[in-house]
Amino acid sequence: MPTTRQIRRQCLIIVFLVVVVNLALVEYRRRTRPYPVLGVNPAQHSLYAPVARSSPPMWRCLDSSKVIQYDAVNDDYCDCADGSDEPGTSACRDGTFFCLNDGGDTGRRIPSYSVSDGLCEPDCCDGSDEPLGVCPNTCSTHGLPQRDSQLQGAFQKDT
């Protein structure tokens, strides 16, 4: 019959193993993350899917110049000549970042040099171009004047 001390030890080992397995699964999911990829227009998310049946997961630059490991996408290092591997960072000189502008405004592209620059861009009113918490989502108020003028124009056409 096991002693109380042995049972506690076995319980601690089981808890430790559960934690380690969960951490490993989280890391695995992070490394093999399916799109969406930060900074990509939702209509183009399929372009950021890993190459089929590649192990480790690989990804082909949009200009097809190179195949890189999938975890190199948005790693803040410009691997592809066209900069397509860094849509969510400012690593590539001529890249663009797609702001979804969730909450009222329409999505827009901004130059990648504006990503993580500490400035709250009006063209990226959801703040997605900055680290979490730097810029508040102002899309609901930012989009109101635009919607009001569109509604006003539509109303004037009807009268």
Kindly report, residue by residue over 73-127, the tens digit of the pLDDT: 999 999 999 999 999 999 998 899 999 988 766 899 999 999 999 999 889 999 9
Query: Coil, helix or strand for 24?
Result: helix
**CA separation for the pair 3, 101 (Å, rounded):** 60
Pairing between strand 58-60 and 108-111?
A: unpaired
User: Global pTM?
Assistant: 0.65
Q: What is the pLDDT of residue 141?
A: 81
Measured at the CA of 83, the angle between CA 74 and CA 48, to 5 degrees, comes to 55
